[in-house]
């Protein structure tokens, strides 16, 4: 079911030059391309992001699930990835943010999009914050 949901979002994203409606209306969204850490297969995940200087910052909230999303494990195994943002495709390198840098961006994301605070409370784990920096 999640695959069907993501496939619909990916299709809408590509059809509408990086814009998606419904529950994602008005929220910045990108498509993250990773390589499966176990399978070696290409994966595409639509993710909300926050622009931070020259990086796109994504959050491993997994809608409040108790474990990290597969895309996060894929990036830890191989930090070189590609994103589609708007109509552009960009080669990026992932960097897991830590300490004050992570806290500052995570707090701003929870303030601006309160759903992320709900995810954090539900998950019972530290949500990974990952900078996707242009290669």
State how far Cα 67 lies from the chain centre. 15
pLDDT digits (tens, 9 = 90+) for 35-87: 999 999 999 999 999 999 999 999 999 999 999 999 999 999 999 999 999 99
Q: Measure the CA–CA gap between 75 and 4, rounded to whole angstroms.
A: 22
Tally of CA atoms within 13 A in the half-sphere of 17 that contains its CB: 0
Of 118, 62, 51, the residue nearest 85 (C-alpha):
51
pLDDT at site 62 = 96
**Do 131 and 57 touch, CB atoms closer than 8 A?**
yes
Q: Measure the CA–CA gap between 40 and 42, rounded to whole angstroms.
A: 7
Fold entry, domain 29-134: Pnp Oxidase; Chain A (2.30.110)
Residue 38, both tokens: 């176990």
**Do 92 and 57 touch, CB atoms closer than 8 A?**
no
Domain residue spans of the chain:
29-134
pLDDT at site 3 = 75
Helix (H/G/I), strand (E/B), else coil: 18: coil
Determine what percent of the chain is predicted with pLDDT higher than 70.
99
């Amino acid at each position: 079911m999640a695959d069907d949901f993501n496939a619909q979002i990916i299709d809408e994203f590509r059809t509408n030059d990086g814009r998606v409606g419904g529950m994602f209306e008005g929220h910045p969204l990108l498509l993250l391309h990773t390589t499966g850490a176990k399978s070696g297969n290409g994966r595409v995940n639509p993710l909300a992001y926050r622009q931070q200087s020259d990086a796109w910052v994504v959050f491993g909230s997994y809608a409040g699930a108790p474990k990290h999303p597969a895309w996060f494990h894929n990036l830890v195994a191989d930090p070189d990835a590609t994103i589609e943002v708007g109509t552009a495709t960009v080669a990026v390198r992932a960097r897991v943010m830590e300490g004050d840098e992570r806290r500052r961006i995570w707090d701003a994301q929870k303030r601006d999009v309160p759903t992320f605070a709900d995810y954090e409370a539900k998950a019972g784990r530290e949500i990974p914050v990952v900078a996707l920096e242009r290669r």
